Amino acid sequence: MTEQRRTKGIRPGLCLLAVLLCFPGPLRAEEQKGILATVAGRNITEADIADKIEAQMVRINTQIYAVKKQAVDALITDYLLEQEAKKRGLSREQLLQQEVNAKVGPVSDAEIEQVYNANKARLGDKPLAEFKPQIEQQLQGGKLQQQQQAFVQSLRKVAAVKVQLKTRAGRSNEQFTVALVVSVGVRLPE
């Protein structure tokens, strides 16, 4: 029984020690001030480097926002397509076939020729026949993508999607874009 009592007293002590080791509590005064380095007794702080890295940090934060926005949009699209397919009693593939593939016509020879002629200088003296399958596939893929985006956009309107993604500064994307433009020294039209 005394052994049990002793181990019961040790457990809370070990838990407290683990908590103190994992969460050191209040930081030393130096760490609280944001000291990053010390050179010959002089401290280099967050404030010292803030101006030097501001434009880079804005670019990085913009990239982070863009990646998150892309991931959120992809998840929204997946969810909306799955829900619409379920509502219609179709598979996702059947829904896309019905609402995207079936509504996009084939690429015309005139469209293929137009792309070929616009890129003729880059393609050299090679004949259209050599590039026709590639151009046709690219144009068809573009048409399908546009149709799918239009369909997803119509689903988003009906579902009243509200994206609440914020930038690291907590500002909306529009405010962040203005901050980005201003921070790199570009004048905005008045």
Contacts of 98 (CB under 8 A, 6+ apart): 90
**pLDDT, tens digit (0-9, with 9 covering 90-100), for 31-65:** 446 899 999 999 999 999 998 999 999 999 999 99
| Closest C-alpha to 166, from 174, 157, 158, 156 | 174
Contact of 171 with 65, CB cutoff 8 Å: no
For 59-103, how does the pLDDT look when each residue is reduced to its tens digit (9 = 90+)? 999 999 999 999 999 999 999 999 999 999 999 999 999 999 999
pTM of this structure? 0.60
